[in-house]
Amino acid sequence: MLKTKDILDEKDKRLRLTSKEVTFPLSNQDKKAIHDMIEYLTNSQIDQLAEKYDLRPGMGMAAIQLGIPKRYLVIVHEVGEEEFDTYVICNPKIISNSAEKIYVEMGEGCLSVNRDVEGIVPRYARVTIEGYDMEGQKIKIRAREELAIAFQHEIDHLNGILFTDHIDPKYPFKDQDSYRAI
């Protein structure tokens, strides 16, 4: 079972790598990593288990956050009381996006960033993503609002980008009125 300390911290330079596309079939190591990521993200959003196993709550993780420089990510989206939609996507690409941009009013978070960061991260309100499932079958996902932000955040990780990179430290709330808060 994955532990919080297994997740790379923002100071770790590996988070700056551009991850490489995966080929199929996935290795057993990659399958295990995906399983571990799903388990961690799900448990971390169930209060009792998060406390029991000392997990930081999070809805998304990219492989590089475990030190694996490969292009796959997992998102576990809470859609009801302890009810989750789980997404696994390999080699994801955003193929279309809305003109409208939004941001998380409370501030975006990341399992690799262990501090509160003030400021606005503009993200597309809606995105369509293409990629492959664990078996190598092509998949297409349409995401909006919080889920759309999660995909953009995780795809950034595959390119060595952290959410904090999008925030101007001098003007963390720059152009706030141009975007819709969620």
Structure tokens at 113: 């960033």
Is 41 a binder of Ni ion (CB under 5 A)?
no
CB atoms within 10 A of CB 65: 23
Asked whether position 64 contacts Ni ion by CB under 5 A, the answer is no
Residue 73 CA to residue 104 CA, distance in Å, equals 20
Min CB(7)–Ni ion separation in Å: 9
Q: Is 100 a catalytic residue?
A: no
Nearest-approach distance from CB 65 to Ni ion, in angstroms: 7
The residue (of 74 and 110) whose beta carbon lies closer to Ni ion is 110
Residues 96-115 that bind Ni ion (CB under 5 A): 110
Nearest-CB residue to Ni ion? 110
Residue 79's contacts (CB-CB under 8 Å, 6 or more residues apart) are 85
CB of 141 to Ni ion, least distance (A): 18
For 42-79, give the secondary structure using H, E and C. HHHCCHHHHHHHCCCCCCEEEHHHHCCCECEEEEEEEE
Q: Which residues are catalytic?
A: 154
Contact residues for Ni ion (CB under 5 A)?
A: 110
